[in-house]
Amino acid sequence: MADRFTYLPSVGIFIIVTWGACELLAGARLSKTVVGVAMAVIIAACALRTRDQLCYWQNSETLFRHAIAVTGNNAFAYYNQSLLFNSRLLK
């Protein structure tokens, strides 16, 4: 299933993780500056990983090629890549 379909079901998990992190940090008595810098680093890391992944989501061909490269025996990706190849042959 596509990653985009996991965003909505993951909202509850994100809320639990966020509230749990707030509770842990409140007990640790860290300064707001330290927490702010840590959060900025985490957000920057997520942004960089997102930028890296965007090149695989350019079109269906690059997406399925990447899926085949990083997974083993992915019948869904092989099947869809073959459909793309066959559609090009028919043009």
Largest Cα–Cα distance in the chain? 65
One domain for residues 7 and 47: yes
State the DSSP H helix or E strand holding residue 59, giving kind and residue range, or none if neither.
none
For the chain, the average pLDDT equals: 85
- 13-55 pLDDT tens trace: 889 988 888 888 777 777 888 888 988 999 999 999 989 888 8
- Which carries the bigger pLDDT value, residue 43 or residue 10? 43
Q: Is residue 32 within 8 Å of residue 48, measured between CB atoms?
A: no
Q: Which two tokens stand for residue 55?
A: 């090149």
Rg (CA), the chain: 20
One domain for residues 1 and 44: yes
- Which carries the bigger pLDDT value, residue 60 or residue 27? 60
What per-residue confidence (pLDDT) applies to 4? 64
Does residue 3 carry a pLDDT above 70?
no
What per-residue confidence (pLDDT) applies to 57? 86
pLDDT band at 66 (very low <50, low <70, confident <90, very high): very high
Verdict on whether the full-model pTM lies above 0.85: no
One domain for residues 9 and 45: yes
One domain for residues 69 and 37: no
Residue 50, CA distances (Å) to 5, 21, 43, 44, 47 in order: 17, 22, 10, 10, 5
One domain for residues 44 and 72: no
